[in-house]
Amino acid sequence: MLWLLFFLVTAIHAELCQPGAANAFKVRLSIRTALGDKAYAWDTNEEYLFKAMVAFSMRKVPNREATEISHVLLCNVTQRVSFWFVVTDPSKNHTLPAVEVQTAIRMNKNRINGAFFLNDQTLEFLKIPSTLAPPMDPSVPIWIIIFGVIFCIVIVAITLLILSGIRQRRRKNKEPSEVDDAEDKCENMNTIENGIPCDPLDMKGGHMNDAFMTEDERLTPL
């Protein structure tokens, strides 16, 4: 009798959970792609955890707080690691509508991913699109910060160059007038000193004494 009941239950379960059945979802895991060497093997314990996570997600839906792990049925587990699952109602005769299951899974996808160390690409619920993470928009884009830094440096450099150019030009303009002043002062001093006009005396370099030169020429060459 018990055997009969057991067969009946599994038969009903088999009908509820079938590839392509109503309200059934296919799940595909790529554990080795995600974890490489640290990949764990997919066994019945992992399946238990999966059922627990789905039940947990369903319990978050209003009116479904009574969902138990036994209400989640898995079938057709392949070596790929892919399988189908359905969630039944407490009477275990009907499956819950796909929309409810979809909403529940979408809301808790991150928790489910985390439980298995996978992400949206390696734990796929076919027919349930995952919500992509919002783009990480910092309040000020990074490029503006770097642009601001570079631009400020360039503006400062330009200002410095212009100012140094102005200073150089001012110095150059002052120099010839300064040199002129010095020369005037020199001449003034020359003429003032001793009261003797010194103009004939050439202060710079040697000056040939004409008389001496003509003396030389008188001497006959050897």
Partner 1 sequence: MAHAPEQDPATSDLGEERPKWDNKAQYFLSCIGFAVGLGNIWRFPYLCQTYGGGAFLIPYVIALVFEGIPIFHVELAIGQRLRKGSVGVWTAISPYLSGVGLSSVTLSLLISLYYNAIVAWVLWYLLNSFQHPLPWSSCPPDLNRTGFVEECQGSSAVSYFWYRQTLNITADINDSGSIQWWLLLCLAASWAVVYMCVIRGIETTGKVIYFTALFPYLVLTIFVIRGLTLPGATKGLIYLFTPNMHILQNPQVWLDAATQIFFSLSLAFGGHIAFASYNSPRNDCQKDAVVIALVNSMTSLYASIAVFSVLGFKATNDYGHCLDRNILSLINEFDFPEQSISRDDYLAVLMHLNATWPKRVAQLPLKVCRLEDFLDKSASGPGLAFILFTEAVLHMPGAPAWAVLFFGMLFTLGLSTMFGSMEAVITPMLDVGVLPRWVPKEALTGLVCLACFLFATCFTLQSGNYWLEIFDNVAASLNLLILAFLEVVGVAYVYGMKRFCDDIAWMTGRRPSPYWRLTWRVVSPLLLLTIFVAYITLLSQKPLSYRAWNPKYELFPTRQEKLYPGWVLAACALLSLLPLLWVPGVALAQLLTRQRRTWRDRDACLDTDTSSRQEWD
Q: Where does this chain touch partner 1 (CB under 8 A) — which range of 8-16, 87-95, 125-133, 175-183?
A: 125-133
Q: How far is the CB of 112 from partner 1 (least distance, A)?
A: 17
Residues 127 and 119: their CA atoms lie apart, in Å, by 16
Q: Which of 79, 91, 194, 220 binds partner 1 (CB under 8 A)?
A: 79
Nearer to partner 1, 15 or 37 (CB): 37
Regarding 54 and contact with partner 1 (CB under 8 A), the answer is: no
Contact call for residues 19 and 84 (beta carbons, < 8 A): yes
DSSP 182-205: HHHHHHHHHHHGGG---TTS--SS
∠48-51-56 over CA atoms, to 5°? 125
Q: How far is the CB of 192 from partner 1 (least distance, A)?
A: 34
Regarding 191 and contact with partner 1 (CB under 8 A), the answer is: no
| Residue 147: Cβ-neighbour burial (10 angstroms; 0-12, 13-18, 19+) | exposed
Regarding 6 and contact with partner 1 (CB under 8 A), the answer is: no
Regarding 169 and contact with partner 1 (CB under 8 A), the answer is: yes
Helix axis angle for 44-59 and 98-107, nearest 10°, is 100
Q: Which of 11, 14, 66, 155 binds partner 1 (CB under 8 A)?
A: 155
Regarding 157 and contact with partner 1 (CB under 8 A), the answer is: yes
Regarding 167 and contact with partner 1 (CB under 8 A), the answer is: no
Regarding 78 and contact with partner 1 (CB under 8 A), the answer is: yes
Q: Which of 5, 44, 63, 134 binds partner 1 (CB under 8 A)?
A: 134
Contacts of 71 (CB under 8 A, 6+ apart): 55, 58, 87, 88, 89, 90, 92
Regarding 121 and contact with partner 1 (CB under 8 A), the answer is: no
Contact call for residues 130 and 122 (beta carbons, < 8 A): no
Regarding 20 and contact with partner 1 (CB under 8 A), the answer is: no
The region, left, alpha or beta by phi > 0 then psi within -120 to 50, assigned to residue 117 is left
| Residue 176: Cβ-neighbour burial (10 angstroms; 0-12, 13-18, 19+) | exposed
Q: Where does this chain touch partner 1 (CB under 8 A) — which range of 5-13, 142-150, 179-187, 199-207?
A: 142-150
Regarding 176 and contact with partner 1 (CB under 8 A), the answer is: no
**CB atoms closer than 10 angstroms to residue 120:** 15
Site for partner 1, rule CB under 8 A: 28, 30-33, 78-82, 129-135, 142-143, 146-147, 150-151, 154-155, 157-158, 161-162, 165-166, 169
